[in-house]
Structure 1
Amino acid sequence: MKAILVPAETHGDSEHALRMAAEVARRFAGHVESFALQLPPLVNLTWDPAGVAIMNGAEFDHRRIRDEARRLAARVMSEEDVPIAPAFEEPAAGAAAPSDAPGEASAGPSWAWNDRTMAGDAFLGAYGRAFDLTVVCRPRPEGASITTLESALFESGGPILIAPPHPVSRGFGRTVAVAWNGSSETARTIAFARPFLRSAERVVVIADDGGLNDQPSGALIQRRLARCGVPVELKLLPAGGIRSGEQILKEAAALGADLLLKGAYTQSRLRQMIFGGATSQILSKAELPVFMAH
């Protein structure tokens, strides 16, 4: 987890995501890059003076939002003792590539600000492909948008770490709960999360082996992690329990977990929108950090 991307927004929850990104950088001597997440400006298609005024006002708001987001990121990283490093600049076409990237040779954490203008969800998803991890906020009506999370989840090709809507203590991830449902999405999540699993004091695989049919059992996942030196236990749930996000969160809380690993949308998003599903329930109710991949 050396390259960490975290968008900065002006709602209150954004600070929690920035602090979690700083914690990950400290733990793994990583480099955080942040930018102001914002919608593109209004496009004025007329010569109406009123339309020009609206467009100019929107551009002013975007500059103000970008400045506020940068100040927030700078304050949080300073308070978290993560020093700033020069922002990475891509070489011009035909120019020699730099020998290293910012923070790459550092023995400790660092961060930089990307001042790209009007960077929205599409930018977040695409740019995230150049990072090991994207940190986002749990979606809430008064906070982050579900489209921001899903853009990072589906378009980056990598994992996301979801910050709950409250401060998280330093050193989170000492007890990790892994919600194993036999899916390829969860297997991929486990692979991405290996640095967190190796640094944990306790890992518990939560599984419902009775409903897995020919898919690997929780015991096999326990064996997989144990062979990597992970201190892992197995907790079996009653039949159907692993399909309930509320049950997963309840079990994680009972274990004292401070990080949950879960494959995202192992059923289709459309099905979950209509009937509900474990991912949707976790995204709406999780009060602990959640590590997901699709």
Structure 2
Amino acid sequence: MKNILVPIEMHSTVDSVLQTALVLARKFDSYIEGTPLGPDLPDLVAFDMPVSWTINDQNSWKELADEAHRKFDATMSGAGIASKAANGSGPSQAWSGDHSLGDSQVASYARVFDVTVLGRPGSERGDPRMATSEAALFESGRPIMLAPPRTPSTFGDTVVISWNQSTETARATAFAMPLLKKAKKVIVLTIENFVVDGPTGEQCAQMLARHGIAVDAVSRPGGKSSGEDILDQTEKLGGDLLVKGAYTQSRLRQMIFGGATAHILAKAKLPVFMAN
């Protein structure tokens, strides 16, 4: 994971997002690129919209982008991350963009990065927006790393894969392979009654073992909520990073009835590596 994209919006967990990116970059001597993030704007603006509103809006966005840039620079400088790695080794960083990109624009740009680090969405004012995570998941073709509200000091020693036998989980596992190879321990967790047709957790563990990964497969009975069960079991297993396929069910179904992805997006207290 040599290329990390960090869209910066001045939300409540921006510090955790940056620190999560730094932990990841130090594991792989990665390049971190920060870019300013804002909500998507309508593609077309009504012709009779007051010019003053448009100008003020653009000025506000420029100010927010400048604030995001200052935050990124201060964090990278404080962490000793150079704009160019010495002797071509170690983490490096750069900033791109003078104006905030919308969620869809960031998701498109993320296609040329190994992973995008985002804040875990929340429902309170000032929390990261769900639209950002969903755009990155569905439009980038790449994985995301969700930073928890509380800044992690480290992660990735004990990785739990939430294995529900789905295509989405297989894809997330494949994307996570660099992290799995660096982990001290990997646990393939299956929650019974919350799986689709596909290879078992034991078969997934066998595949990973052939890569030289120290891995165990465990199965636990399901309760009322697969998302709650996944987070509870991950904590009991000592996991400090969760790997999960996103939205095995449709987004609409999860919005109406709930689902594991929706619960984890709202409640996870550890970094979560996701792909769709």
TM-score with structure 1 length normalisation? 0.87
Q: Deviations over 1:247-292 (max 9, x none)?
A: 0000011112110001000111111111111111111100000000
Q: Deviations over 1:74-96 (max 9, x none)?
A: 111122221124xxxxxxxxxxx
Q: Deviations over 1:103-153 (max 9, x none)?
A: 698211101000242411011110011111111111113311111001111
Give the CA RMSD over aligned residues.
2.1
Aligned pair 1:236/2:238, yes or no? no
Aligned residues: 272
User: Runs of 5+ in structure 1 lacking a partner?
Assistant: 86-102
Other-structure match for 2:111: 129
Larger Rg over CA atoms: 1
Contact kept in structure 2, 1:3 and 1:32, CA below 8 Å:
yes
Distance 1:162 1:214, change over 3 A: closer
Contact kept in structure 1, 2:156 and 2:241, CA below 8 Å:
yes
- Give % identity: 44
For residue 177 of structure 1, the aligned residue among 160, 167, 170 is: 160
Other-structure match for 2:47: 45
Deviates further, 21-30 or 206-215: 206-215
For residue 158 of structure 1, the aligned residue among 132, 135, 142 is: 142
Aligned pair 1:145/2:129, yes or no? yes
Code of the residue aligned with 2:266 in structure 1: it is S
Code of the residue aligned with 1:178 in structure 2: it is I
Code of the residue aligned with 1:284 in structure 2: it is A
Other-structure match for 2:256: 274
For residue 106 of structure 1, the aligned residue among 56, 63, 88 is: 88
Secondary structure of the residue aligned to 1:62 is helix
- Equivalents in 2 of 1:212, 1:133: separation in Å? 26
Other-structure match for 1:81: 80
Other-structure match for 2:208: 225
Code of the residue aligned with 2:18 in structure 1: it is L
Deviates further, 35-44 or 253-262: 35-44
- Equivalents in 1 of 2:174, 2:224: separation in Å? 20
Q: Deviations over 1:31-68 (max 9, x none)?
A: 01111102467847338xxx233222222211210110
User: Runs of 5+ in structure 2 lacking a partner?
Assistant: none
Code of the residue aligned with 1:244 in structure 2: it is S
- Equivalents in 2 of 1:82, 1:174: separation in Å? 23
Secondary structure of the residue aligned to 2:88 is coil
Other-structure match for 1:191: 174
TM-score with structure 2 length normalisation? 0.92
Other-structure match for 1:54: 53
- Equivalents in 2 of 1:228, 1:180: separation in Å? 18
- Equivalents in 2 of 1:203, 1:20: separation in Å? 20
Code of the residue aligned with 1:189 in structure 2: it is A
Aligned pair 1:259/2:210, yes or no? no
- Equivalents in 2 of 1:72, 1:128: separation in Å? 21
Instruction: Quote how far apart the aligned CAs of 1:242 are.
Output: 10
Code of the residue aligned with 1:174 in structure 2: it is D
- Equivalents in 1 of 2:240, 2:80: separation in Å? 22
